[in-house]
Amino acid sequence: MADILEVSALTKRFGGLVANNDISFNVRENEILSVIGPNGAGKSTLFKLIASFLSPTSGEVRFRGKRISGLAPHTVARMGIVRTFQETTIFKTMTVRDNVIIAHHLRSRANLLGFFFATKTAQEDEKEFARSADEIIDFLGLGHQRNEIASNLPHGHLRALGIAIGLATNPTVLLLDEPFAGMNHDETRRALDIVRGVRDRGVTVLLVEHDMPAVMKISDRIVVINFGQKIAEGTPKEIQENPQVIEAYLGAEDASIGM
Amino acid sequence: MSKALKAVLAVAFLAVVFVGVPMLIAATGRSDLYYTLTSVALLSIISAGVWITFYIGRINIGQGAFALLGGYVSAILVMTYGVSFWLTLPLAGIFCALVSVLIGLPILRLRGVYFAMVTLTLTEVARLLALAVPITNGARGIVSIPLPGSVTIFGVTVIPDFATLSNPRLAFYFTAVTLMVICFAGLYRLVHSRIGHICQSLQQNEELASSIGVDIAYMRILAYALSSFLGGIGGAMFAAISQSIYPSSFTIADSVNFMLNCFLGGLGYVLGPMLGTFVLYFGWDLLFQTGSFQLLIFSSILIALMLVLPNGLLSIRLRSQSQG
């Protein structure tokens, strides 16, 4: 499989703090790659660097050979690299359906004036967005809540809505920021199915996550970072047996890394 | 509300504004009301601009600056360059929009109270500029601006020369109300199209909006330019009606009022600024009898209204709907 994202020698400093230090790895087309690491290891920073919400101090991220570091987030989103958010970041006062419809922004063929005057193209766009939004909502199991105001959704469904918003942009690479955080067993199982489903739609998934058992179950490959540095990369099995990884997680119970 | 009901209400509103009001004024002989209602119409246009910036999540207390700028642009073009007022009207709006792009580029990065504070100073900056720059004629202002002339297209007089009219007040009333109707119809369409949803996405979460590919910097500038355009149009009209413009024609108090109009009417409703302006303007006049207590009573009522109806006057209608 071809590499779709190349992260090379990525370094990010905040004043004296080195959040990410010389991190390199590649993401392959249509795989599920997880980035894990203890609290404060620099996962979130890495995530923001890849989605271009932050600019690296040095190093770069390339998407299909093109440098994306330093571009505006909406430009990177337009290229097909879209992130979801760790917090329950949604458009709170809109309905579930409107949340997903608005997220089709990148697929518009009509321009703003076209939407103002409701040209034929704009009307076709609207129709297509509504149809596609309904499909995505059903896919994520939010069908019975489509007309609910988003802020009224229970926790687990908010995550699903976050992923729905990401999917609506028709991404090539979807970055999921802790999609399983704060979920109970059943919710996690459902979320795992969703993430697999997303991958089966042809999307490359890169996720940052705490929940070890979930990561071990779902990932094709895993990158482990600690104190801002990459300490291991490999299949879930390789990672489980890696002494450095075990050491990094020492103090955590063995069960928490799925052994 | 169903579409048919909306259409009926819209037609009824047009009938009242264009036919009902002139007939009523003719019957009662209260022709001073023309000036009042013209002011309300124009102030609601300027407030509509502020409402747009609210709609993308910015508190704008600087609209007075653009109203002042628009007034001066129109006055100077008419007086110094002899341009027809009807041409200066859009030019004033466009000039304000361009200036707002330059100002907006740096300040629209600010959010919340920081943006509000910067815009608050804008009106004062505009006033001081008007005092200092030679072309504005300082504190004496620009006076005796001629009334708007006629417009002829292919030999047909579309708009008569206001100076020859027996009742220029009526002509100004029709002009202002027409502009108001166009402004709010456009705003209504804007908000109910996809553009409105994009603005809302900005208001609710700019990070999320940019993650779905919305160019938030561009949208912010666009909204602010549109807002300032309306401010400029309103200011130019006021200069034409009063046939004068001074540095103190629009002050910080006016900027605050434009914002209050939006608050009072309702930030979630397109017609909010129109209703808010109407109520605020007439409410202030009604309290005139109370003399020195006018401001005290007025502001107390405003505070009470905002506490009871945080979503504005138009939310009453919505609430009764959701109950029944």
Say if residue A62 is in the same domain as residue A182. Answer: yes
Decide if pLDDT at B324 tops 50. no
Chain B: residue whose CA lies nearest to A81 = B211
Of A122, A150, A170, the residue at which a domain comes to its end is A170
Confidence of residue B183 (pLDDT cuts 50, 70, 90): very high
- In the prediction, which pLDDT does B55 show? 93
Q: Across the interface, do B204 and A126 touch by the CB < 8 Å criterion?
A: no
Interface of A with B (CB under 8 A): 51, 53, 72-74, 77-78, 82-85, 89-94, 98, 101-103, 105-106, 108, 112, 115-116, 118, 122, 125-126, 165-166, 168-169
Chain B: residue whose CA lies nearest to A95 = B197
Segment B285-306 shows an average pLDDT of: 86
- In the prediction, which pLDDT does A253 show? 52
Residues of B in contact with A130 (CB under 8 A): none
Say if residue A100 is in the same domain as residue A63. Answer: no
- Structural domain for A132, as ranges: 90-170
ipTM comes to: 0.85
Task: Kindly state the percentage of chain B with pLDDT values over 70.
Answer: 97
Taking CA A47 as the corner, what is the angle to CA A181 and CA A233, rounded to the nearest 5 degrees?
Answer: 90
Please tell me the pTM assigned to this model. Answer: 0.89
Distances in Å between the Cα of B272 and the Cα atoms of A243, B50, B55, B263, B268 are: 65, 11, 12, 8, 7
Q: What is the mean pLDDT of chain B?
A: 91
Say if residue A74 is in the same domain as residue A198. Answer: yes
Tell me whether residue A62 is in a domain.
yes
Beta carbons of A198 and A174 less than 8 angstroms apart = yes
A37/A245 Cα distance (integer angstroms): 9
Mutate to test the interface with B, among A52, A85, A91, A161 (most CBs of B within 10 A): A91
Q: Which residues does residue A224 pair with via DSSP β-bridges, in sequence order?
A: A36, A232
User: Model confidence over A188-202: pLDDT tens digits?
Assistant: 888 899 899 999 999
Distances in Å between the Cα of B119 and the Cα atoms of A139, B46, B60, B206, B259 are: 46, 15, 6, 20, 12
| Location of structure tokens 């409701």 | A118
Q: Across the interface, do A94 and B195 touch by the CB < 8 Å criterion?
A: no
Which residues, given as ranges, of chain A have pLDDT below 70? 1, 87, 250-259
- Picking from B189, B197, B210, the nearest residue to A102 by CB comes out as B197
Nearest to A26 by CA among A10, A45, A42, A11: A10
Chain A: residue whose CA lies nearest to B196 = A116
Segment B179-208 shows an average pLDDT of: 94
User: Model confidence over B208-258: pLDDT tens digits?
Assistant: 999 999 999 999 999 999 999 999 999 999 999 999 999 999 999 999 999
Q: Across the interface, do B210 and A73 touch by the CB < 8 Å criterion?
A: yes
Task: Kindly state the percentage of chain B with pLDDT values over 90.
Answer: 69
* Edge-first strand listing for the sheet containing A58-63: A17-28, A3-14, A58-63, A66-67
Say if residue A255 is in the same domain as residue A241. Answer: yes
Residue B322 or residue A32, greater confidence:
A32
Decide if pLDDT at B270 tops 70. yes
SS3 A165: helix
- Picking from B201, B213, B222, the nearest residue to A77 by CB comes out as B213
Segment B124-135 shows an average pLDDT of: 93
Of A170, A199, A224, the residue at which a domain comes to its end is A170
- Picking from B194, B198, B211, the nearest residue to A77 by CB comes out as B211
* Residue B153 neighbours by CB under 8 Å, 6+ apart: none
- How many Cβ atoms are within 10 Å of B4's Cβ, its own excluded? 8
- In the prediction, which pLDDT does A222 show? 94
- In the prediction, which pLDDT does A101 show? 95
Say if residue A254 is in the same domain as residue A194. Answer: yes
